[in-house]
Each structure stands twice: as C-alpha cells, then as structure tokens.
A and B are shown apart, each in its own frame.
Chain A
Amino acid sequence: MMRLNPPDAYWKKDVILFFSKRFALFIKMLYPVALIVPVAASDIPAQYGAAVIGIVAVMAGTFGAGESLTVDLNDGILVRVALTPLSPRRIVFEILAVNAFLDFVQLLPALLIVYVLHPAPLVWVLASTFGVLATLVTANCIGVFIANFTSSPADVLLYATVILAPLIYLSGFFRNTNPTGLLAALRGFVPFAYMNDALEAVFGLDVQSAPYEVFVYPSIIAAVLVFGICLTAARLLSPRL
C-alpha cells in the first residue's frame, strides 16, 4: 500500500501538510459549505446560486495556489527543492495537480449538499462536478502563473483580480449571460463558463452547453494551460534576487 508519510514526492508533502493542521483543515472544509449551502438552500435566482459556487471555486483555486507558492518562494524552500535533481516541470505539475485535487476535496461536501438540495439528472451532476474540477485546475494555473511575478500574498490578490475579473465576466456568472459574436467566441475558451452552464443546469435552468461539451472543452483548455504553465517552471522556481 502506498505510504504518504514521510513524503517521498512533492505532492505527498502537500497532502500531509493539508491534513496535518486540524483546525485549519476544519476551516478549509467548512468555509465552502458555509458560503455555498445557504445560497443553494435559499430561493435566490438559480443563476446566482450557480454563480456563487463558481466564484468560490475560482477564488479557492487561484488564491490558494498563488499565495502558498509566493510564500514558499519568498521563504526559499521551493528554490531549494528546485535545486534537487527533480525536474522543475515535474515539481510545477505536482503543485498544480495536488492543489487542484485538494481544492476539489474542500468543495466536494458543499457540492454534494447542493445535489441533494437540487436533484438533477445524473449526467448534469457528473458534468458540473467535472466542470468544477476543470475550473480548479484552470484557477490553479492562473495562481501559479501569477506567482511568477508576485513578491507577497497581497500582490497575488491584486494580480488575480486583474486576470479573473474579465474571465468571470466572459463566463456569464452575473453579466454577459447571453453573449453573441466575439464575446460568445471568447466565452468558449474559458473553462469557468462550462462549469457555470453545468451548475445552472443542476439548478434547473436551460443552458447553452451540452453535457459532453462540459467534459471535452474544459479538458482540452485545462490541459493546454497546464502544459503552458509547466513550461514556465524554470523561471518560477529560480531564486528571487
């Protein structure tokens, strides 16, 4: 059986750290439920119910990766890890994968409660779950990308806002709900949009995307993003001088 502790891989180290601090873990698991469930249980318009879940996923992914990476880079520990024979691209890939997975673990209880409160066809339940995962991968890619340029967690907040605001607009969480022309074309390249469609379907709305699109397009886009971010590994993991 696979042993996690002591860690012999970067991702195992992150998993151990995630579960090691009980109070922090309690808060991490609680806050998505505290934000999402009251909204899902209320009679708020379905569009906004879906949007709240989407926003929580986007923020958790982007800020989590960006801030923890910035702290580790400033501390020097990540540069030290990068000076081992481990490939920098592998390290960045593991950072992305494990952060997205752990973010997903945090959001899953809240999502399950939403599915109980809003019974939906299984295909949309699976699609929205997958859409959230793809969003988390994308958001983590954004967080890692931002960490290339930040020197403090406050920088992460600033840069993330600059990048996320247009993406959230394009995705149609609150505005741009029925885009046409260029906006519609651009929307197709944002994985958040597919998650939003799937969540709206769970909440009972008619949506633009078919379930298969929620599986296919975000997968392709997220894969391209992961590949691109891994190419920045050498720069990301170099010493901050």
Chain B
Amino acid sequence: MHIVERTPALYAQRITRLYKTSGRGVSEVSLEIQPGEVFGLLGPNGSGKSTLLRVLSTAIAPDSGTFRVANADGLKEKQEAREKMGLMVDRPTHYGDLSGWANAYFFARAYGVEEGKVDGVLAELFDYFGLAEYKDDKVKTYSYGMGKKLALIETMAHRPELLLLDEPSLGLDYTSQLAYQKKIRELARAGVAILVASNQVDEVEALCNQVAFLHEGRLIARGPPEALISSLRDLRRIVARLRNPIEYALLEETSGVELVVPEGQYLVVHCVERPGIIADVVAGIIRGGGDIVSLSVERPNLEDVYVKLTGEALHDDEA
C-alpha cells in the first residue's frame, strides 16, 4: 500500500512562553494541524490561548520550542510563515479614518494578492459577509460586529493555508455567525487548516474535527469532540436558570452531585446517572434559597469535559 505523507499545515513542538511579570503563558504545548482540519483550542480567560496564538502568528518568540507553518520555520523564516497564514486577533483594529474597503485592500496587497485580482476577491467576501453596502463607509462608523466581519475578510482574502482565529465569532449576530461557520467549513473542504481559539463551546463543537483544552498554559487533553464528550456518558448535566444567586455548598453535598458551576444566571450541576437525581438536585437548589425559573437536563458538552478535567469552569463566574 502506498502511504502519502502530508505536510502538516501547522506543526508546533513544545512551545513555551511565560511572561516575566506574571509567570503566566504557555508551557510545553505541542500540536499538529493537518490541511483541511478545523482545530479548536478551548480554555478560559488566562489559560494561554492568546499567548499561544501570539507565538504561532510570529508576533512574539517562544522561550523554547519550535513550529512550522507548512514548510516554513516559524522562527527562522517568519516572512514565509506569515505569507501562508491568515490571522484574526481577538480585538481586531483597523484604520478608523479609512473605509472598510481601503483597510481590506491594504491588507490584501500586503499579503501579496495581485492587483488584478484583489477587487474581485474582496467584492466576493464583502458580499458574503454582508458588508458590501458599507464598504465605502469609514471603519470608525462600523459596529463591533461589522469590525469583526471586516477582520474575517482581511484574514481570508489572500487564501492562506492556515487560519489562526482568536474568538472569531464573539460579537457577531446570529446570521453572521452562521455565515462565518459556513465559510469555515467551505475553506476546510478546500484544504485550509484552521485553528480556532475560543471559549464558545457550541461553536467549537459544531465546527471542529479536533479539540484541545488549555489549562494554566498546558495542553491537558485533545481529541475529536465526540470522543471527548463520550467519555462522560455516565454524566448528567442539569442546567437551572435562577432568579437569584444562591449558596450552593449544600447542593454539592447531595449524593450523586459531582460539581456545581455557576454561569451567570445559570447553575450547571454535574451529577451521575441514578434514579431520583433530578428531584434531589431541585430539592437542593430550593433548600439553598434558589428560585428556579427554568430547568433542563442536557447531554454533556465540551465544557463539561473541561470541568471534569480541571474542576474549573470555562467561563468566568458571573453569578
């Protein structure tokens, strides 16, 4: 049998980058993304997602470790690596006094899109993301979501081999999120490798073939989303929407309850599968003074995998 070895679109080996001031960053992170693969990087704020993207985008050098973008060495051949990459940072910035079109044109040309092709490529993307009508408006008049869409256009216009996207859909309206996800799937089918750093669990589950969890700068697990979630087949996830915050220590003492995670107005209760568990959880919430607005029992998701692995929530506790 003839086996064809493909060059990974991204190959990172033992990347370490710690900030001197805080000691935070990433440690010994290795990952590989094949062409056509959508790779999700999940982790809460401060877990090291943005630091890893900064290193992989060549913005900062790692303390140790190496990486390659297609065939280009990310440390020694930065310009070549940048040519192959499309980068969207978590808070995209633009030249506010230039039009959206002028911004996108400038970046497309900076990435080497030929003068004869750039108008056609940009027109298609502006149309796709619903910005055609606003292309001549100054970017300072754009909403946050429009700025994100413009950043996506700038990221994709030069048809990179690897996309690095940091919180790409945060701030996009529902329609734009669907358009963005459709485009990501389309690009993946065309062989583009995509790294999505996010803590939008639904989006990562829907888009990614591979997922990795970052916790305190370290990669703690990776695999296909279904495989990671199926490891929790004995787990129930009860989500209660409460009218008021409660003291949930008592609830954690309920037999079968493994973990209680407050998420804004919601209380997510991880518990084992056993008869009567739902009634016991409801009783525990009420005993704690909780006023339940709604309650649902859901299948576990990637967030639950993260909670199981670390004992911590992916999102900040806003309760």
Tell me if B134 is interfacial: C-beta within 8 Å of chain A: no
Output the nearest chain B residue to A12 by Cβ-Cβ distance. Answer: B106
Q: A83-B59, A83-B87, A86-B110 are in contact. Are A6 and B102 (CB under 8 A)?
A: yes
Cβ-defined contact, A20 with B97, below 8 A: yes
B160-184: which have CB < 8 Å to A?
none
Q: A6-B105, A16-B102, A85-B82 are in contact. Are A21 and B115 (CB under 8 A)?
A: no
A1-59: which have CB < 8 Å to B?
5-9, 13, 16-17, 20-21
B67-126: which have CB < 8 Å to A?
79-80, 82-83, 87, 89, 91-95, 97-99, 101-102, 105-107, 109-112, 115
Cβ-defined contact, B79 with A85, below 8 A: yes
Cβ-defined contact, B98 with A241, below 8 A: no
Query: Roughly how many angstroms separate A86 CA and B106 CA in the complex, as a whole number?
Result: 11
Output the nearest chain B residue to A13 by Cβ-Cβ distance. Answer: B106
Query: Roughly how many angstroms separate A106 CA and B92 CA in the complex, as a whole number?
Result: 32
Cβ-defined contact, A8 with B79, below 8 A: no
Query: Roughly how many angstroms separate A80 CA and B112 CA in the complex, as a whole number?
Result: 15
Q: Contact string, B189-232, partner A, CB cutoff 8 A, digits 1/0?
A: 00000000000000000000000000000000000000000000
Output the nearest chain A residue to B92 by Cβ-Cβ distance. Answer: A80
Query: Roughly how many angstroms separate A214 CA and B99 CA in the complex, as a whole number?
Result: 42
Chain A residues touching B, range: 20 to 34
Main secondary structure of the interface of A (DSSP, over half): loop
Output the nearest chain A residue to B60 by Cβ-Cβ distance. Answer: A239
Cβ-defined contact, B60 with A241, below 8 A: yes
Cβ-defined contact, B110 with A84, below 8 A: yes
Chain A residues in 8 Å Cβ range of B82: 83-85
Q: Distance in Å from the Cβ of B294 to the closest Cβ of chain A?
A: 40
Tell me if A123 is interfacial: C-beta within 8 Å of chain B: no
Q: Contact string, A80-119, partner B, CB cutoff 8 A, digits 1/0?
A: 1101111100000000000000000000000000000000
Chain B residues in 8 Å Cβ range of A20: 97-98
Cβ-defined contact, A85 with B111, below 8 A: yes
Query: Roughly how many angstroms separate A64 CA and B308 CA in the complex, as a whole number?
Result: 54
10 additional contacts (CB under 8 A) given A20-B97, A84-B82: A7-B109, A8-B109, A8-B115, A77-B94, A81-B110, A83-B57, A83-B59, A84-B110, A86-B110, A238-B59
Q: What are 20 A-B pairs with beta-carbon distances under 8 A?
A: A6-B101, A6-B105, A8-B109, A9-B109, A13-B98, A13-B102, A16-B98, A20-B98, A75-B93, A76-B89, A76-B93, A77-B95, A79-B59, A80-B92, A80-B93, A84-B107, A84-B110, A85-B110, A85-B112, A238-B59
